[in-house]
């Protein structure tokens, strides 16, 4: 694994870096193939999507990109809690992407059926490495408690599940979620954490600062075995980091 920590002066600069990563990776795709991206929920990805809508919507070859989700809340796609709806409103509705390139998680159906259905969607549409789908680009957020996607500290063992998608619940609200596990996250070519705001600096330090013993939490288990791990931080989230 190659770990790259980047600190940006603004969310726009962070977003611009990520847009260029999409462009760069789309140029590496062979004729007839697709760049595969897993979107995440969260407040920073939303800003990134809005930035891309405003600045890159005609620059990125969307017809050659397939979009998936690393986690979803089990609600209908028009619900304000839906990660699909967030991405649709902030980006998808503004770009020219064929509908068949968008593979949302069905939050409206029985989660135990959806974890299986989505597994087959991934296996049928993403190149496999070691029999597991391998994303070109995996977006992830970081919760204050160290959760990522919808794997929370209270069910951290799901990260090492044999499944690639799994039904879990939010620890406080009890809301059902569908989430990728470590099996597919760590099989990605490029994983990007999006973390902004001073409120996240405590957990960022606990995971990344060499002065501290490494905290074990779902996000700290993200280590793409044969890929790049990017931590995209703003100055606030990076407050106190000493090893860079």
Q: Binding residues for ligand 6PG, per CB under 6 A?
A: 40-44, 71, 83, 141-143, 147-149
Q: Give min distance, CB of 86 to ligand 6PG, in A.
A: 9
Q: Give min distance, CB of 39 to ligand 6PG, in A.
A: 9
Measured CA distances, 69 to 177, 208, 233 (Å): 12, 25, 21
Q: Give min distance, CB of 120 to ligand 6PG, in A.
A: 22
Beta carbon nearer to ligand 6PG, 42 or 182: 42
Beta carbon nearer to ligand 6PG, 142 or 241: 142
> By the 8 A CB rule, do 201 and 148 touch?
no
- Cβ count within 10 A of residue 31: 5
Long-range contacts for 90-99 (Cβ within 8 Å, ≥24 apart)? 90/46, 90/49, 90/50, 90/53, 91/49, 91/50, 91/52, 91/53, 92/67, 94/53, 94/57, 95/53, 95/57, 95/60, 95/62, 96/57, 96/62, 96/63, 97/62, 97/63, 97/65, 97/67, 98/62, 98/63
Beta carbon nearer to ligand 6PG, 71 or 136: 71
Beta carbon nearer to ligand 6PG, 148 or 186: 148
Q: Give min distance, CB of 240 to ligand 6PG, in A.
A: 18
- The residue sitting closest to ligand 6PG, measured at its beta carbon, is 141
Q: Give min distance, CB of 144 to ligand 6PG, in A.
A: 7
β-bridge mates for residue 118, sequence order: none
Beta carbon nearer to ligand 6PG, 26 or 185: 185
Measured CA distances, 208 to 132, 204, 223 (Å): 28, 6, 13
Encoded tokens for 71: 């986690």
Beta carbon nearer to ligand 6PG, 160 or 210: 160
Give Cα 77 distance to the centre of its chain: 18
Q: Give min distance, CB of 230 to ligand 6PG, in A.
A: 15
Q: Give min distance, CB of 4 to ligand 6PG, in A.
A: 19
C-alpha angle 50-37-31 in degrees, rounded to nearest 5: 115
β-bridge mates for residue 7, sequence order: 233
Beta carbon nearer to ligand 6PG, 46 or 183: 46
């Amino acid at each position: 694994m190659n770990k790259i920590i980047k600190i940006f002066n603004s969310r726009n600069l962070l977003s611009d870096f990520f847009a260029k990563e999409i462009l760069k990776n789309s140029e590496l795709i062979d004729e007839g193939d697709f760049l595969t991206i897993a979107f995440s929920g969260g407040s920073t990805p939303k800003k990134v999507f809005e930035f891309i809508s405003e600045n890159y919507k005609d620059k990125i070859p969307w017809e050659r990109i397939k979009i998936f989700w690393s986690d979803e809340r089990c609600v209908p796609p028009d619900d304000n809690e839906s990660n699909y709806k967030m991405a649709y409103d902030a980006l998808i509705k503004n770009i020219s992407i064929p509908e068949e390139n968008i593979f949302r998680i069905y939050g409206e159906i029985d989660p135990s059926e959806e974890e299986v259905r989505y597994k087959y969607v991934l296996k049928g549409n993403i190149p496999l490495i070691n029999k597991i789908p391998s994303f070109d680009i995996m977006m992830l957020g970081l919760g204050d408690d160290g959760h990522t996607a919808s794997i929370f500290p209270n069910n951290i063992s799901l990260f090492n599940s044999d499944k690639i998608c799994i039904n879990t619940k939010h620890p406080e609200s009890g809301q059902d979620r569908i989430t990728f596990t470590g099996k597919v996250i760590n099989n990605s070519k490029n994983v990007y954490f999006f973390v902004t705001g001073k409120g996240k600096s405590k957990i960022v330090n606990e995971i990344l600062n060499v002065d501290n013993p490494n905290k074990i939490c779902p996000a700290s288990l993200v280590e793409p075995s044969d890929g790049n791990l990017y931590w995209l931080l703003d100055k606030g989230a990076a407050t106190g980091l000493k090893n860079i």
